[in-house]
Amino acid sequence: MNARRQQDIPFSYRRRLGLVWAGVMAAGAALWAGVAVAQEAEGQAPPLQVTEWVYGEPVQPADGRGEKIYVIEFWATDSPQCLAAVPAFAEVQKKFADQGVICVALADGTPEAVRDFLSVGEEKPPYHVGCDDAGKTRRAYFDAVGVQGLPHAFIIHRAGGIAWHGHPLDDMEAALTQVVAGEYKPEKTVRPIAKPKSARPEVTTEELARRFEEAVEAEEWEQALTHLDTLMEREPEERQYIMVKLYLLVSRLGDMERATKWGLSVVEAHRDDVEFLNEFAWRLLITEDYAARCMELAYKAAVAAYEAGGKERADVTDTMARALYQIGRVDEAIELQEKAVGMAEEEGAEEPVVEQMRGTLRYYRDCAGVRREAEPLR
């Protein structure tokens, strides 16, 4: 059994994020401008690495070289900014469809998450939609021009290179009109970048961490989340980032719908990892700000841990009992807490840990007694 303190389970944040953590204070917003890039004629846009095409047939920019123009847009399914760009993207495809323009939207996540994000119902979107393979396509495109942030769009000219890139709601349609007419000149668009990736060093992880810190200090929470998402992609093994992101969504942005949706995707992604799910649920259950605001997420994480093989573990059962108690199912919580105490004793857990569990059981029983006494007053 994993011995743990009843009131605190530390998450060993790296120092670079730990120093920032104390300075995260009030909500704000990050705005950033689009950019344009001129590539050498022989420079080709990266291929699309897609695990599944959710809507439309598979496409590759290389297949339409010499004839077609492609607009590649990258989204995150938990981003309100990306959702806001969806209607305009559909209009762009409809407007330019007969001019050889093919629009493609790529997003991380499962096909179900992408469908839920688009919420198109019976009507399919007029553009192609695919699931990016672990963000590989996005990283290839972003690294090619040295940018971060979602949503982000790229226009691929007929020769197969990147003609323009930037925020899809920032002059993209104007740039596309010029590309279609063969009149596009990067110097007339927003902040041109003169050199492709071959002349640009890749942004290091330490540099991303520094940008994250700066965004937090400036209270630019959305920008901080963008950098944090990139750090999570670079270092998926660093699970402390998960709690940092949840903290920003819940405590700084107050976006509970987004926090819950993303948190549930985390639970689903770790469906078979009892250890992670148990610690994740416990952290949500014992942290005051989360306990009241993330009840659904905490409960589902606890259930996932319990069903993934934790039924015979005292600590996981203890967590499940706490989750049941917090949603008002006190009698069931008492039953499971009794089981947790018995298993802890059988496992030979340290006496302070067992005594803490016993104390929790007494508390649940006292609460149940108070509820029964209060029944006639209702």
* Fold classified for 36-190: Glutaredoxin (3.40.30)
Chain-centroid distance of CA 268 in Å reads 12
**The predicted structure's pLDDT at residue 148:** 77
CB count, 10 Å around CB of 78? 26
Question: Angle of helix 351-374 relative to helix 314-326, nearest 10 degrees?
Answer: 20
244 contacts 17 by C-beta, under 8 angstroms: yes
Q: Where are the beta strands (DSSP E) in the chain?
A: 36-37, 50-55, 69-75, 101-107, 128-132, 152-156, 162-166, 192-193
* Fold classified for 15-24+204-372: 1.25.40
- Pairwise CA distance, residues 104 & 79, whole Å: 18
Tokens of 318: 């203890």
Q: Which helix (H) or strand (E) holds 231?
A: helix 221-234
**The predicted structure's pLDDT at residue 14:** 33
Q: What is the pTM of this model?
A: 0.51
Exposure of 119 by Cβ count < 10 A (0-12 exposed, 13-18 middle, 19+ buried)? exposed
DSSP 46: P
**The predicted structure's pLDDT at residue 58:** 96
**The predicted structure's pLDDT at residue 205:** 84
- Pairwise CA distance, residues 53 & 129, whole Å: 6
Q: What are residue 128's DSSP bridge partners?
A: 104
39 contacts 161 by C-beta, under 8 angstroms: yes
**The predicted structure's pLDDT at residue 199:** 39
> What parts of the chain have a pLDDT lower than 70?
1-43, 120-122, 185-202, 291, 374-378
Tokens of 5: 């303190």
**The predicted structure's pLDDT at residue 269:** 85
- Pairwise CA distance, residues 183 & 38, whole Å: 13
| Residue ranges of domains in the chain | 15-24+204-372, 36-190
CB count, 10 Å around CB of 21? 12
What is the secondary structure of 320-352 as a DSSP string? Answer: HHHHHHHTT-HHHHHHHHHHHHHHHHHHT--HH
**Single-letter code of the amino acid located at 80:** P
Cis before 236 (ω within 30): no
- Pairwise CA distance, residues 193 & 145, whole Å: 8
